[in-house]
Amino acid sequence: MVQGVELIPLRHGWPGWWAKMELFRPELRDDWLVFDLDTSIVGSLADMAAVEDPVIMRDVVRPGSLQSSIMANPPSIISFPMCNTVTRASWD
């Protein structure tokens, strides 16, 4: 545990990166900024934290695509209901 950090347990047991879908649970309405564990932060995050719109990283391998290794969701954005509708059948 890290002092001042709230741990939020996962509910669905989805494997691998599918667990990121839980970031969009409707009850998680506070703003959040998330980085994959293999992401190196080498500068200030102030500009990213000040943005009032959702933020997602551009895919460096596939131009025009997005990837989820860096994401931010401000409280003004209503979380997506898809977290409650994804089932095991949809990713098997």
Which residue has better confidence, 36 or 78?
Answer: 36
Which range of residues forms the domain containing residue 46?
18-83
pLDDT at 27 over 90: no
Q: Averaged over 27-31, what is the pLDDT?
A: 76
Q: Is residue 75 situated within a structural domain? A: yes
Residue 64 falls in which region: left (phi positive, over 0), alpha (psi -120 to 50) or beta = left
In a domain, 44, yes or no: yes
Whole-angstrom distance, CA of residue 65 vs CA of residue 57: 9
Report if residue 5 sits inside a domain. Answer: no
Is 22 within a domain? yes
Q: Is 76 part of any domain?
A: yes
Which pLDDT score, from 0 to 100, does residue 22 have?
A: 84
- Kindly state whether residue 1 falls inside one of the protein's structural domains: no
Residue 49 has pLDDT above 90, yes or no: no
* Mean of pLDDT over the chain: 79
Q: How many domains does the chain have?
A: 1
The more confident residue out of 29 and 18 is 18
